């Protein structure tokens, strides 16, 4: 090694030295071994962000989406995307991998629940059951889509490192796809999210770094900031970025939306979807509105989040902490077109967990907490709009698997001050 380099290295302390080594390596684009990747990631995680060393963090200016159809080329709109990724049916015989069981989820009528909730008999209540995706949530669809689009465009190749900030379900989907396809994964996830998701992703072979729940998205210690820092420091690392990746809403425009249209035989009056990144509601709504004239979309946003429109809906408990995982944000992701919803409804923790426990008990559908929120949103919309008949479909985003030690556990419910009774 040339003496000048050693002199520079000697002059630099720990982290700075590491970043320089890594920068040199990045230029060469050598895929790191797992151990090398982890060593760099551990160091970056251990050091507080220092602008003098790492440079300004290139946060993407997330600003919501207003023109899905005319998105600039770098994001792509339906025209560029749809033709390339047709939905694959689930194999009826021997499958090649678990990924064959992403997409094509059941639509289940939940009349026992409707009766328990005392909703009018002429309302046909349906649930789109996303926990039956192979990785346990609606986000398996976008994980597979984002990876396969990036592979098709040559952006990533097996052996590379995928880094994703997530509330855990996109993480589980990415880790599952990555295990099958041979990628390394680093997940950055706020501390609020459940240990079940953490352990699931660890089991799938990922490294997980937890960030403070209270950190705003642009704070330098947020899960989004950490993903950016890690991507800068690790060679052959990519952030597919579900908050701005058009593969996210497109998965739901091409796949989930089409499935619902087909399963309903083109007859649906209301579609109720909770929003996190907003990819699910945006993609489904665009497809349903194209195919089913008159269908109304109800968006569900937890109290504490600021996604609902009009903004004064968000006033109560604005930006305060809440316990339901996977929905709501303190910024408007670029894959969310909030205007697709004809009505937004706000929900609270206690009613959401009570409803999730009710769905499990009445229908045997093992759903997660945000599914309770979505169903509460449906009930509120039915009441507020005075709906007395018609077909209402509620998307249930994930599985109770993620919350065995949380809302499913009586002790956790009591400790958290939530009621144990069900509807
Ligand atoms: N529910 C849960 C449990 C989730 O993890 C997510 C994804 N963050 C959602 C709902 C919302 O999905 P989307 O990000 O597409 O809005």
230-285 tens-digit pLDDT: 999 999 999 999 999 999 999 999 999 999 999 999 999 999 999 999 999 999 99
Taking 70 as the threshold, does the pLDDT of residue 8 lie above it?
A: no
Question: Residue 409: which of 418, 54, 245 has the closest Cα?
Answer: 418
The verdict on the CB of residue 173 being under 6 Å from ligand 1 is: no
The verdict on the CB of residue 231 being under 6 Å from ligand 1 is: no
Q: Which residue CA neighbors atom 11 of ligand 1 most closely? A: 276
Mean pLDDT of 167-190: 97
pLDDT interval class at 83 (50, 70, 90): low
User: What's the CATH number of domain 7-63+138-239, 3.90.550.10, 3.30.1540.10, 3.40.30.10, 3.40.50.1100?
Assistant: 3.40.50.1100
The reported pLDDT for the residue numbered 67 is 61
pLDDT interval class at 169 (50, 70, 90): very high
The reported pLDDT for the residue numbered 344 is 98
Taking 60 as the threshold, does the pLDDT of residue 401 lie above it?
A: yes
Q: Is 139 a catalytic residue?
A: yes
Q: Which residue CA neighbors atom 7 of ligand 1 most closely? A: 326
The verdict on the CB of residue 139 being under 6 Å from ligand 1 is: yes
pLDDT interval class at 85 (50, 70, 90): confident
The verdict on the CB of residue 277 being under 6 Å from ligand 1 is: yes
Report the percent of the chain where pLDDT is more than 70: 89
The reported pLDDT for the residue numbered 63 is 85
Domain spans in the chain, listed from the N-terminal domain onward: 7-63+138-239, 101-137+246-413
Catalytic residue among 25, 71, 128, 139: 139
Q: Which atom of ligand 1 is the closest one to the Cα of 142?
A: 15
The reported pLDDT for the residue numbered 144 is 97
pLDDT interval class at 333 (50, 70, 90): very high
Spacing, Cα 160 to ligand 1 middle (Å): 26
Query: Which of 133, 138, 190, 197 maximizes ligand 1 atoms within 8 Å of its Cβ, making it the mutation to test the pocket?
Result: 138
pLDDT interval class at 66 (50, 70, 90): low
Mean pLDDT of 169-184: 98
Taking 80 as the threshold, does the pLDDT of residue 164 lie above it?
A: yes
Q: Which atom of ligand 1 is the closest one to the Cα of 166?
A: 8
The verdict on the CB of residue 278 being under 6 Å from ligand 1 is: yes
The reported pLDDT for the residue numbered 117 is 98
Q: Which atom of ligand 1 is the closest one to the Cα of 275?
A: 16
**What is the third-level CATH fold of 101-137+246-413?**
Rossmann fold (3.40.50)
Question: Residue 276: which of 217, 359, 230 has the closest Cα?
Answer: 217
Mean pLDDT of 396-401: 98
Q: What does pTM read for this prediction?
A: 0.91
Report the percent of the chain where pLDDT is more than 90: 87
Lowest mean pLDDT among 8-22, 248-262, 385-399: 8-22
The reported pLDDT for the residue numbered 29 is 75
**Same fold yes or no, 7-63+138-239 and 101-137+246-413:** yes
Q: Which atom of ligand 1 is the closest one to the Cα of 279?
A: 15
Spacing, Cα 273 to ligand 1 middle (Å): 9
């Amino acid at each position: 090694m040339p003496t000048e380099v050693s002199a520079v290295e000697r002059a630099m302390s720990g982290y700075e030295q590491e970043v320089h080594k890594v920068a040199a390596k990045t230029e060469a684009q050598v895929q790191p071994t797992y151990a090398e990747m982890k060593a760099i990631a551990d160091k970056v995680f251990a050091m507080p962000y220092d602008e003098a060393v790492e440079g300004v963090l290139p946060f993407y200016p997330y600003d919501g989406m207003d023109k899905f159809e005319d998105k600039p080329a770098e994001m792509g709109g339906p025209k560029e995307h749809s033709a390339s990724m047709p939905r694959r049916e689930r194999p009826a015989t021997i499958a090649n991998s678990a990924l064959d069981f992403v997409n094509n989820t059941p639509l289940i009528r939940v009349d026992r629940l409707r009766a328990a909730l005392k909703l009018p008999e002429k309302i046909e209540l349906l649930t789109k059951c996303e926990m039956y995706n192979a990785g346990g949530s609606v986000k398996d669809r976008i994980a597979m889509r984002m990876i396969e689009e990036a592979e098709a465009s040559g952006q990533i190749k097996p052996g590379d490192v995928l880094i994703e900030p997530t509330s855990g379900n996109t993480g589980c989907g990415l880790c599952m796809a990555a295990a099958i396809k041979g990628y390394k994964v680093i997940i950055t996830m706020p501390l609020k999210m459940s240990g079940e998701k953490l352990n699931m992703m660890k089991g799938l072979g990922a490294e997980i770094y937890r960030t403070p729940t209270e950190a705003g998205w642009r704070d330098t210690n947020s899960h989004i900031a950490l993903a950016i820092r890690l991507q800068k420091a690790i060679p052959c690392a990519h952030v597919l970025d579900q908050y701005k990746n058009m593969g996210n809403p497109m998965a739901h425009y091409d796949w989930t939306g089409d499935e619902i249209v087909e399963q309903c035989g083109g007859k649906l009056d209301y579609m109720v979807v909770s929003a996190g990144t907003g990819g699910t509601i945006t993609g489904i709504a665009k497809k349903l509105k194209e195919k089913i004239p008159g269908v109304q979309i109800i968006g569900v946003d937890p109290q504490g989040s600021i996604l609902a429109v009009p903004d004064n809906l968000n006033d109560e408990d604005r930006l305060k902490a809440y316990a339901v995982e996977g929905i709501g944000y303190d910024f408007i992701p670029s894959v969310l077109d909030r205007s697709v919803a004809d009505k937004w409804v706000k929900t609270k923790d206690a009613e959401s967990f009570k409803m999730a426990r009710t769905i499990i008990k009445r229908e045997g559908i093992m759903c997660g907490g945000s599914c309770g929120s979505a169903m509460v949103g449906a009930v509120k919309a039915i009441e507020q709009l005075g709906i007395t008949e018609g077909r209402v479909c509620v998307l249930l985003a994930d599985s109770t698997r993620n919350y065995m030690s949380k809302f499913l556990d009586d002790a956790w419910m009591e400790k958290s001050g939530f009621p144990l009774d069900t509807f």
